[in-house]
Amino acid sequence: MRVLEFPGQSGVPVVCLIEARQVKDPAGGDQLVWVHALDAGNDLSSLLIPFRLATEAADLGLWMYSPQGRQLEWLGGAPVVTALFQDSIAPLSRVIAAVHPDDREAFRQLLRSAPIQQSPWVRLRYLTQHDGWHQLAAQTRRLQLGYGGPERIFGVVRDDTKQEKRKQKAQAALAAERQRARDIADFSAALITAATEKELQQVVLTRLAATFGACGALLALVDEDRLHVSTDAGIAMREVEALHGLRLGHPSPLPEAIRTGRPQFVPDRKNHSHRWPQGPFPRLDRLGSDYAFAITPLSETGDQPLGAWGMVYDSGYLPSLDERTLMGTLADLAGQALRRIRLQQARVELATALQQTMLPTLPEHLPGLEVAARYRPSRDGLDIGGDWYDAFVMPDGAIALEIGDVQGHDVDAAAFMGQVRLSMRLIADQEPHPGTVLTRTNELLTTMDVARFASCTLLHVDPRGGRVTGTSAGHVPVLYAHRDGSHGVRELPGGPVLGVVPGIKYREKPSPWTRTPRWSWSPTAWSKDRA
C-alpha cells in the first residue's frame, strides 16, 4: 500500500492509503487493476504509519494538530526527538507554555497559517522536563485525511540543540581567536610606538599576561650587569624581591635566559630544583609554592643582553609550540623597541649636552641691565629644542641681546645652533649695527649651503645713549612690560629667516630707552630690567 496525494475540493490536498494489484476479468479474461482506498475514518492509524516511518528515517519527529480540539498529538519518529516530549497528547496551551516566550508568537503563526505546501523551517526554543532548553526547528503542512476525512496540521520537528551548541562553540572560538589577534596586533603596535622605557614597561606589564592567559607577568631589564625587575598586578614585588638585583651570571633561569638568549620553560618546582639547585623559587600568593613559568629573552643568542619577560601559570603547564613562537616574536619586537628607545635616548642626551655646552653663561654684570634666562627646551616625544640666546658687551660699550631658533630637533640642529650663535658674536665684534650683523650672518649661512635655517631677533642696547635698536630675521615679536603692569608687543623690522635667501638687507629700527622696561621673548623666555 502507498500513500497518494490528490487535489481536494477546498484546495487542501487529500492523502489516501491506496492498495492496487493486477487482476483478470472473469468475464472476458482481460487484465484489470484492482484499487482499494483505505477509509481513514475507520483506520486512521494505518494511514499514519508511512508518515511515521518517513520521519523516523529522516531523523525527525512527527506531530499532528487538531484545530477543532486545540490539541497536539505526538505521532512518533526518531527516538531522540520523541524522548523530548513526555505526553503523546497535550493541549495546545501546555505546549505553548513550554515554548520560550520570545518564540511563542512564531509558533502560533506556524499553526494558524499552515499552508497546503510545506512551510519554511521555524526555529523554536523548547523547555523539556529533564534536559532544559532545546533548540528545535519545526515545519508544518495542512492535509485532509482521506476523502471526507478531517483536516489536520502535520508538523515535523528537528532537534538542533547539539548542532547549535557546536555552532555556538565554534563561533565563540572564532570570536576569541579574532579578539586575540586584535589584542596581539594592539600589543605589537604599542611596543612599536613606545617612546620611553617606562612606556615600554607599562605596555608589557599591562598586556603580557592577558595575551598568553598567564596568572601574572614580570619584566627584567639588565642594568649594569644586574637585573631590574618589575611586575604586574598578578605578582607582588615583595614576592620576587629575591630576583631583583641578581647578577647576570647567577645560576638561575631568569639570568640564564637573558645571558644565553634561550627561552626557559619550567613546568613545576621539581623541574626547577633539578635544573637550578641554587636558584630562588619564590612563593606566590596566587599560586603557592609550586607553579609553572615561562621566560623569554628580549635578545637572541650573541646579541647584547637586554632583559627578559616571564609569565607564571598553574603547576604542570607548558605552552604549545605556537605559543612559544608567538612569545619569541613579541619578545623580539619588545627588544627592538628597547634598543631603539635607548639609542634615541643616548642621542637626546648627547644633543642636550652639546646644546647646553654651546649655550652661553650670562655675564654677572651688564651696564644698566639685570639679565636672567630660563631655558626649557620643548620636547616632542624624544626630540629636543633648537633654541639659543646670548647677551654680551660690544666693543662700543653697548649690549647685544639675541634670541633664536634653529630648524630641527637633533644633534645636527644643536651643532648648527652653536655655529650660528658664535658667528653672530664674531660679526657683532666688528659691526655695531644689528641689521648689518644679521645681513652678514645670512650671507655666511647661504654660502655654506646647509640644509637648515634659523630665525633670530637681535637688540643693540645703548643705556648711555638712551637708545635700543632692534631687528628680526623671521622671529616672533618682542613682548615688553613695565613695573606698573602696562605691556605690549613690539614688531621689529628685518627680513626672512637666516640661511635661505641670499642678498637680503636686514633693516633695523631704533627706539628711545625708557626707565624700567622689561622685555620677554618667546619661545625661550628671558627678561632684562634697567637698574
Lookup: cell for 327? 612569545
A 10 A CB-CB count for 327 gives 21
Residues 47-87 pLDDT 10s: 778 888 888 888 899 988 988 889 998 888 888 888 888 78
Mean pLDDT of 175-185: 90
**Three-class HEC string of 246-265:** CECCCCCHHHHHHHHCCCEE
H helix count then E strand count, the chain: 11, 25
- Provide mean pLDDT across the span 313-320: 94
pLDDT band at 524 (very low <50, low <70, confident <90, very high): very low
Given a contact cutoff of 8 angstroms between Cβ atoms, the answer to whether 403 and 409 are in contact is: no
Contact 264, 295 (CB under 8 A): yes
- Cα separation of 379 and 373, whole Å? 19
Average pLDDT over residues 131-144: 90
Q: What is the pLDDT of residue 60?
A: 92
pLDDT at 143 over 60: yes
Grouping H, G, I as helix, E, B as strand and the rest as coil, residue 118 is coil
Q: Is the pLDDT of residue 356 over 80?
A: no
Q: What is the average pLDDT value for the chain, to the nearest integer?
A: 86
Q: Which residue has the cell 649655550?
A: 359
Of 144 and 241, more confident: 241
Least confident span in 160-164, 325-329, 512-516: 512-516
> Is a pLDDT exceeding 70 seen at residue 474?
yes
pLDDT band at 331 (very low <50, low <70, confident <90, very high): very high
- When pLDDT is cut at 50, 70 and 90, the band that residue 7 belongs to is confident
Concatenate the DSSP letters of all residues of 335-380 into one string.
HHHHHHHHHHHHHHHHHHHHHHHHSPPPPS-BTTEEEEE------S
What's residue 24's pLDDT?
83
Residue 488 — very low, low, confident or very high, per pLDDT cuts 50/70/90? confident
The per-residue b/e assignment along 200-229, b for 16 or more CB within 10 angstroms, e otherwise, is: bbbbbbebbbebbebbbbbbbbbeeebbbb
For residue 199, the surrounding DSSP H or E stretch is helix 197-212
Burial state string for 130-142 with b = 16 or more CB within 10 A and e = fewer than 16: eeeebbbbbbbbb
| Residue-level pLDDT at 530 | 36
Pairing relation of β-strands 494-495 and 467-473?
parallel
- Choice among 13-17, 225-229, 331-335 with the minimum mean pLDDT: 13-17
The 10s digit of each residue's pLDDT in 183-242 is 999 999 999 999 999 999 999 999 999 999 999 999 999 999 999 999 999 999 999 999
More confident residue, 522 or 66: 66
Residue 517 has a pLDDT of 55
Cβ partners under 8 Å of residue 383, min gap 6: 348, 409, 410
Does residue 363 surpass a pLDDT of 70?
yes
Cβ-based neighbours of 47, under 8 Å, separated by 6 or more: 3, 15, 16, 17, 38, 40, 145, 146
Per-residue pLDDT at 523 exceeds 70: no
Residues paired with residue 132 on neighbouring β-strands, in sequence order:
128
Q: What is the arithmetic mean of pLDDT over 169-176?
A: 90
CA distance 274 to 113: 75
Question: Residue 526's pLDDT is what?
Answer: 40
CA trace torsion 362, 364, 367, 368 (10° rounding)? 90
Give me the percent of the chain exceeding a pLDDT of 90.
45
pLDDT digits (tens, 9 = 90+) for 414-451: 778 888 888 898 999 888 899 999 999 999 999 987 78
Best mean pLDDT range from 24-33, 48-57, 335-344: 335-344
pLDDT of amino acid 146: 79
Choice among 105-119, 354-368, 409-423 with the minimum mean pLDDT: 354-368
Whether residue 385 is predicted with pLDDT greater than 80 in this model: the reply is: no
Contact 367, 396 (CB under 8 A): no
498 CB-near residues (< 8 Å, 6+ apart): 420, 438, 441, 442, 445, 453, 454, 455, 456, 473, 474
Report pLDDT for 525.
40
Rounded to an integer, the average pLDDT of 175-179 is 89
294 or 279, higher pLDDT: 294
CA quadruple 453, 457, 458, 464: dihedral, nearest 10: 180
Q: How far is CA 12 from the centre of its chain?
A: 60
Does pLDDT of 368 surpass 80?
A: no
- Residues of the chain with pLDDT > 70, as a percent, come to 92
Per-residue pLDDT at 350: 76
Distance set, CA 115 to CA 76, 95, 96, 232 (Å): 22, 21, 20, 64
pLDDT at 137: 93
Q: What is the pLDDT of residue 382?
A: 44
